[in-house]
Amino acid sequence: MGVSRHPYSSSLPSWANVPIDATAVARLRASFNAFSADGSRLASIFYAKLFERYPGVRTLFPADIRAQEVKLMDSLKAVVEHAEADPKLIEALKALGVRHVKYGAKPEHYPIVCDLLIESMADAAGPAWSVRLAAEWRRALEIVSRIMLAGAASHESSTH
């Protein structure tokens, strides 16, 4: 894969010190609603790109990817619905990080997923996509990555 260290592996952000931009959250929610109006088209675009560019990760997924596409869309929905750093979402994302370790995901996969999701969102959104929206989604996905990696790391340290 060529990535030796995950760039978002620094400590988890202090949620108490992160201001929530209600306008940005509203844009994330609106864009997600537009993506989800097409069912799992966004997820289909994402997995097609992922498997084309990184065929080695295909074995980490079931042969029939449709259920995985639904899971991805459900996860994105949970993120935008609870973007104000709901403690339940944080715990759910940490648990998701633990499950991803069990599935074979590695820390270096996270930036690849973030990049491909942003690219897939741009493709799915078409002219509605903007530089601002890309930056807001990137920030949200990087925070999600940090939380998932924290969950993965806590699992790894508890098993050693």
The domain ranges of the chain are: 21-159
- pTM attached to this predicted model: 0.81
Q: Which residues lie closer than 8 Å to 103 by C-beta, 6 or more apart? A: 60
Residue 86: CB atoms within 10 Å = 13
CATH architecture of 21-159: Orthogonal Bundle (1.10)
Q: Render pLDDT for 47-95 as a digit per residue (tens, 0 to 9).
A: 999 999 999 999 988 999 999 999 999 989 988 888 776 778 888 889 9
Alpha helices in the chain (DSSP H): 22-37, 41-53, 66-81, 87-103, 109-125, 131-159
Count of C-beta atoms within a 10 Å radius of residue 150: 17
